[in-house]
């Protein structure tokens, strides 16, 4: 068996063939309604030259898609997960939330903002992991303990970072 047939065998599983069969079954009523007259009308309206040009233009793409590497990649894709992802995108689109996400993506086009967010998330992720590791040893802190913690260099620096962020955030909110 050649390397092209192996990935193709994985794609053409009995489950996938059943799905194709069910799709064809649902199309049968449509095919029953196509009369010879409708067929002739459809065929006369088809621009064969345009179809051939399109197929010719698609030839490199089809060659790439049917290469052994592409077929191997297709066998590794979890299509059920992709379908669930598509369902989620459909839900987001219907609710209007997808448009809001697209607005967020536009905001991330600002490289300076994107770099700032990446830095913030990276630092926060690292701090969260360290906090989580420390969590089993955490003890309650009294008001005096809180005041004492403010003398810690790391806490002082974090407070400075937060105050700078709060200052800029307040400035933005005051603009309206």
Quick: pLDDT tens for 4-18: 556 667 667 788 788
pLDDT greater at residue 133 or residue 81: 133
What per-residue confidence (pLDDT) applies to 7? Answer: 61
- What rounded mean pLDDT belongs to the chain? 87
CA distance 12 to 14: 7
| 127-149 mean pLDDT | 94
- In degrees to the nearest 10, what's the CA dihedral of 101, 107, 111, 115? -70
| 27-43 mean pLDDT | 79
Closest by alpha carbon to 102, among 112, 92, 91, 111? 92
CA distance 38 to 31: 11
Q: What band does 157 get if pLDDT is binned at 50, 70 and 90? A: very high
What per-residue confidence (pLDDT) applies to 10? Answer: 66
What per-residue confidence (pLDDT) applies to 52? Answer: 82
DSSP helix/strand/coil, 142: coil
Q: Count of alpha carbons within 13 Å of 38, Cβ hemisphere only?
A: 6
Q: Which residues make Cβ contacts (< 8 Å) with residue 155, sequence separation at least 6?
A: 149
CA distance 5 to 166: 61
pLDDT tens digits for 58-91?
Answer: 888 888 888 888 888 888 888 888 889 999 989 9
Count of helices and strands (H, E) across the chain: 10, 0
CA distance 5 to 26: 29
Length of the chain: 176
Answer yes or no: pTM beyond 0.75: no
Q: What band does 110 get if pLDDT is binned at 50, 70 and 90? A: very high
Residue located via tokens 């967010």: 117
> Which of 29-33, 47-51, 141-145, 153-157 shows the lowest mean pLDDT across its residues?
29-33
CA distance 133 to 110: 35
Domain extent listing, the chain = 5-77, 95-175
Decide if pLDDT at 1 tops 70. no
What per-residue confidence (pLDDT) applies to 34? Answer: 78
């Amino acid at each position: 068996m050649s390397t092209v047939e192996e990935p193709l065998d994985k794609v053409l599983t009995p489950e996938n063939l059943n799905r194709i069969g069910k799709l064809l079954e649902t199309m049968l009523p449509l095919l029953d309604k196509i009369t010879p007259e409708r067929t002739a009308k459809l065929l006369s309206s088809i621009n064969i030259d345009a179809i051939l040009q399109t197929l010719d233009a698609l030839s490199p793409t089809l060659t790439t898609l049917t290469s052994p590497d592409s077929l191997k990649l297709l066998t590794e894709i979890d299509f059920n997960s992709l379908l669930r992802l598509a369902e989620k995108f459909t839900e987001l689109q219907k609710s209007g939330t997808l448009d809001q996400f697209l607005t967020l993506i536009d905001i991330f086009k600002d490289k300076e903002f994107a770099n700032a967010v990446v830095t913030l998330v990276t630092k926060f992720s690292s701090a969260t992991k360290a906090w989580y590791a420390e969590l089993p040893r955490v003890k309650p802190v009294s008001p005096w303990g809180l005041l004492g913690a403010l003398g810690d260099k790391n806490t002082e620096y974090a407070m400075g970072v937060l105050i700078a962020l709060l200052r800029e955030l307040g400035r933005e909110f005051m603009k309206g």
